[in-house]
Amino acid sequence: MEGVLITPLKRILHPKGDVLHGMKRSDAGYKGFGEAYFSTVHAGEIKAWKKHLRMTLNLVVPLGCIRFYLYDDRLESPSKGQGLRIELGEDHYARLTVPPGVWLAFEGLGPSVNLLLNVADMEHDPMEVERAEIDAFPLN
Amino acid sequence: MEGVLITPLKRILHPKGDVLHGMKRSDAGYKGFGEAYFSTVHAGEIKAWKKHLRMTLNLVVPLGCIRFYLYDDRLESPSKGQGLRIELGEDHYARLTVPPGVWLAFEGLGPSVNLLLNVADMEHDPMEVERAEIDAFPLN
């Protein structure tokens, strides 16, 4: 999908506890720093849908597993009308970059804590977020 | 301790999974963005000691509980010779800002995953990290 990146991330094993890469300012998808915050999503729950008008999201799942659903209804996008589904987490440790204008939903898959870090290029601003009901766009 | 900040953070409750603040660019302690990465530390293990010569650390524990030990041997610091001990985690959700030059160790307290996010003002650079054995400085 146009502007969407999936970037594999390193997990560095350590006997006392691993180190997991997240985001570097020199990484693909980095658009500046505004805020880093966590969302959690319980097993079987879907948080849907949100679209950011200005924010680029950089999403990392260091714990559990989360399925992301993207839908592109950007007027001039080459991938307009397309959806994307991807699972990230401990078993597929990668960063998902979501540009402004793409609809996003996500579902908790892991039985315990499903933790999402967003390294966003701007601070939270409710004026740049649009919401839609879960049935507004296809989930697959 | 000179230059060390402890900033309470919000946890926003949500039936499908909470949202946890981490770091905003307008927050106290923000010195720029270089890298965000995770460390984990198993229950009863202590990762000790490290000192960053240039990096400012902003440490958040969204999951589990971690005890941090700081020791100040900065030559011209008003708090030279002082230590600091603080526990952060789900039950005391706050951000710990550690300026360059302060020794840091941390210990896993939670029985399951103890997860630490560092929002650092520079990318990892092994040349700016010093290490010391666990008995080099007092742990209380």
- Provide the mean pLDDT of chain A: 97
Which of A50, A67, A55 has the alpha carbon at shortest distance from A106?
A67
Backbone angles phi, psi at A136, to 5 degrees: -70, -30
Contacts with A34 from chain B: Cβ below 8 Å: 24-25
Nearest CA in chain A to B11: A38
In this prediction, residue A32 carries a pLDDT of 98
How many angstroms separate the CA atoms of B72 and B81, rounded? 6
- Let me know how long chain A is: 140
In this prediction, residue B140 carries a pLDDT of 77
B134 touches chain A (CB under 8 A): no
A134 touches chain B (CB under 8 A): no
At A22-41, the pLDDT tens digits run: 999 999 999 999 999 999 99
Contact A89, A59 (CB under 8 A): no
What was the ipTM of the complex prediction?
Answer: 0.95
Dump the DSSP string for A82-110.
-EEEEEEETTB-EEEEE-TTEEEEEEE-S
Averaged pLDDT for residues A48-54: 98
Contacts with B110 from chain A: Cβ below 8 Å: none
How many domains is chain A built from? 1
CATH code (residue B59): 2.60.120.10
The whole domain housing A30 covers 5-136
Q: Which residues of B33-43 are buried (b: 16+ CB within 10 A; e: fewer)?
A: bbbbbbbbbbe
Backbone angles phi, psi at A80, to 5 degrees: -55, 135
